[in-house]
Amino acid sequence: MEINLINLLFLIAVLCILVTVLKINRHVKGIKYTLDQLSKHNDVPENQINDELRQLIVMGEKIKAEKIARKTLGLSLLEGKQYVDNLKVNKN
């Protein structure tokens, strides 16, 4: 009985943390969208690393470009891939 109660409390705690993380993630995405809009509106120059990443893409070093993007910008694996893919789409 005591173990079931502990398991239930643990499950509730994990669910609360998950909900909080999802709310924070949604909030961060909103902030990112706002920053993107502000940078476009105010003609903020593009990140300096983008030229290097484009050069790597042209040289066929897409994976290396993704690694550099991840390291420099603090992106996840998926975010790094998407960032490099967006550079290709926007430049070509």
pTM for the predicted model, two decimal places: 0.58
Give the closest residue to 54 by CA, choosing from 23, 74, 83, 25: 83
Range of the domain at 24: 1-44
Same domain flag for 54 and 31: no
Q: How confident is the model at residue 56 (pLDDT cuts 50, 70, 90)?
A: very high
Same domain flag for 40 and 59: no
Number of folded domains in the chain?
A: 2
Mean pLDDT of 5-16: 94
Residue 92 has a pLDDT of 44
Same domain flag for 50 and 30: no
pLDDT of 42 strictly over 80: yes
Alpha-carbon distances, residue 14 vs 2, 20, 22, 39 (angstroms)? 18, 10, 12, 37
Same domain flag for 4 and 29: yes
Same domain flag for 40 and 50: no
Same domain flag for 52 and 92: yes
Same domain flag for 39 and 50: no
The residue with greater pLDDT, 1 or 20, is 20
Residue 45 has a pLDDT of 82
Mean pLDDT of 20-43: 89
Residue 91 has a pLDDT of 53
